[in-house]
Amino acid sequence: MVLSQDELRSLVEARNRCPHQLLGLHPLGDGSGLVGRALLPGAAKVEMHPVHEPAMPVIRLKRIPKTDLFEGVTKGATRVYACDLVITDHAGNILRTRDPYSFLPTLGESDLYLFGKGDERRIYEKLGAQLRTMDGVPGASFAVWAPNAQRVSVVGDLNDWDGRVHMMRSLGSSGVWEIFIPGVGEGAHYKFEIRDTQGNVALKTDPFGFFFEMPPKNAAIVWNTRKFAWTDEPWLAQRRRSDPLRSPMSVYEVHLGSWRKKSPSESLSYRELAGPLVDYVREMGFSHVEFLPVAEHAFYPSWGYQVTGFYASTSRYGTPDDFQFLVNALHEAGIGVIVDWVPAHFPRDEWALARFDGTALFEHEDPRKGAHQDWGTLIFNFGRHEVRNFLIANALYWCERFHIDGLRVDAVASMLYLDYSRKEGEWIPNQYGGRENLEAIEFLRSFNHITHTEFPGVLTIAEESTAWPLVTRPPYLGGLGFSLKWNMGWMHDTLNYFCLDPVFRKYHQNDLTFAMLYHHHENFILPLSHDEVVHGKRSLLGRMPGDDWQRFANMRTLVGYQWVFPGKVLLFMGGELGQSAEWNANGEVDWWLLNAGPFHRGLQRFIKDLNAVYRMIPSLWQADYDLPGFFWLDCSDHENSVMSFVRQNSQGCDPVLVVLNLTPVPRMGYRLGLPCPGKWEEVINSDAEIYGGSNLGNLGGVVAGEIQSHGHAWSAEFTLPPLSLMVFRPKKG
């Protein structure tokens, strides 16, 4: 035996940090020949055969007694050459494979340097499981960051889950471990077996895994996410040229598992969803869909917000190729795709990121910085370069490999504040004694800058519920750099108002006008999201007061107001047909309601027509964030609960009048000033009979005469239907 006893024990006990220095083929210390070694449980006989140089000797390895380690020496060569292992098991079966310990590392010094610096933007091409060919041999390289581990092995169906077979080498101070394993193909299941500094051994799933077993199983699956044949280049080219802030944007928010089901217990797959979802969204006229998190998550009731596989689309609905198919189909139909992205926290599952190498690697050690008290989840250590790299590269991965058009960042407020949902003594101030999470702020600025630089036209959207300033302003101006921010204040104020019995609304009209006092501070999107139809809040329709007629009239007016108010819009599935019950992630949208009476069909038809009007009239979206884009005509008629305002383009031209009557009392002869004379067409009226209304209106429009009103030289008398929204514009020609 050429090995020392310490070296032998380090291999047999699977404790060696650099197995490539001992296993494989190596020169003898005196230069007189070569020694070959292989650790192969279950082998009866092992030989090393030359691959490219047949003149080189075959080396027969002998088992070292009482071990599964084989060793052999040859004096017939002094230069290392490429070898295959020819393995005979106890049943006489023969396997020939390239020696996995004969390959150079698949990561270079520059890769490791950039990763350690937090700036390897394509680290997902280096870490994890990468299908590749080395020296003409197909297989997969495996690499994982575990700087505090004693030993790391790849285990899986490729080696009977035995951590002795494919021990990885440590690539120095980078903390990265690596090995190339010949013959591994797409579909192989694997994990990392990690021995920590205390000698404890744990199985961990791959942080960079591209595909996973169906939960509750959690092994990663080797997969190539580059092979899908995309056909959406016209969409991507148009996206690169467009300015999303000056484009129409109405978003249909979807939970993939409960939009439509195949059976009560089985959801549609990504490919099965593609046809009906594309047809429905296109028919309804939405410009985008937004998916609740599609990244892999073990706990279905988390709706995807407790991510265990940040680089994998969930296997519940198919393969990564299947999700790419769905995105491609939406793009071909001219529909953008936004996904919820969750960099704020991750769950404590022992097989995932938590204490990954036996230490607080991705999270903070101190729970006052590293744990969410309310959610029971862990917080990323945003100040650690490798963690920041993991997350920013993840954002780029979704944009590159899945052609995602927007990332809606969940729970931004929880990232910004060190004392978020914490009592005194449960948090640690920053270095200046403040409550701001300086590392998270810098992370968000970097994420936004890099994403917008690498993928022009891709949106980043903040779900941020506080008054943090400059969320949607560039980092060079001191902002966070998001494209858009959810206007949670508008959502709360508006829903609070519409929940009121109309008799009390005259005392609360400021709830609807307040949003314009801060509107130009940010680029807002107006959400009526999934969060507003769960946990006992009731459905949107369920919040509306009155009998069925009034509830649906209120609902039409609510969504109409949302669509024509400055800002982009988002509506959660089911809201468009007036779902009566709260959203149930285990069920599906109550499509049967469309056959339950005219009100549900009428609301759906109204939103379809509303989308058509919205996209047809640039003044309703082209200047959402410009001062000329909006002015109140009259927001002070509290007594009648009537409001009116004008939308225009950025040049202050092409006016559009919006009038809301927010009580069930019709108003006849109601005079409003108008910015120009002539005929004003009634473009849409929420009280139309086809929507389930009373069909009261203005016979197609009004004529503005020279009677001063509301600061304008012209005005007209309007008939205001009960609980209604109407939109007018000057008749052209």
Burial of 239 (0-12, 13-18, 19+ CB in 10 A): buried
Say which DSSP state 317 is in: G
The values of phi and psi at residue 288, to 5°, are -140, 155
**Rounded Cα–Cα distance for residues 307 and 252 (Å):** 22
Bridge-based pairing of strands 128-134 and 69-74 is unpaired
Q: Which of 162, 410, 439, 522 is catalytic?
A: 410
Q: What are the Cα distances from residue 414, in Å, to 470, 555, 699?
A: 17, 32, 51
**Rounded Cα–Cα distance for residues 39 and 14 (Å):** 10
Indicate the residue type of 127: L
- Tokens 């609301």: give the residue: 603
Q: Copy the structure tokens of residue 708.
A: 């001063």
- Respond yes or no: is residue 193 known to be catalytic: no
**Rounded Cα–Cα distance for residues 314 and 217 (Å):** 12
Under 8 Å between Cβ of 74 and 59:
yes
- Tokens 């946990």: give the residue: 535
Under 8 Å between Cβ of 499 and 545:
yes
**Rounded Cα–Cα distance for residues 551 and 563 (Å):** 18
Q: Is the dihedral of CA 692, 599, 502, 681 positive or negative?
A: negative
Instruction: Name residue 204's beta-bridge partners.
Output: 192
User: Residues 6 or more apart from 86 whose CB is under 8 A from it?
Assistant: 46, 47, 48, 49, 94, 95, 96
How far is it between the farthest Cα atoms of the chain? 110
C-alpha angle with apex 367: 366 to 371, nearest 5 degrees? Answer: 135
Q: Copy the structure tokens of residue 2.
A: 């050429």
**Rounded Cα–Cα distance for residues 83 and 732 (Å):** 81
- Respond yes or no: is residue 426 known to be catalytic: no
Say which DSSP state 427 is in: S
Under 8 Å between Cβ of 552 and 599:
yes
Q: Copy the structure tokens of residue 676.
A: 């120009």
Under 8 Å between Cβ of 526 and 488:
no
Express the helix, strand and coil content of the chain in percent, nearest 5 each: 30, 25, 45
Q: Which of 386, 463, 511, 532 is catalytic?
A: 463
C-alpha dihedral (524, 527, 531, 536), degrees to nearest 10: 130
Active site positions, annotated: 410, 463
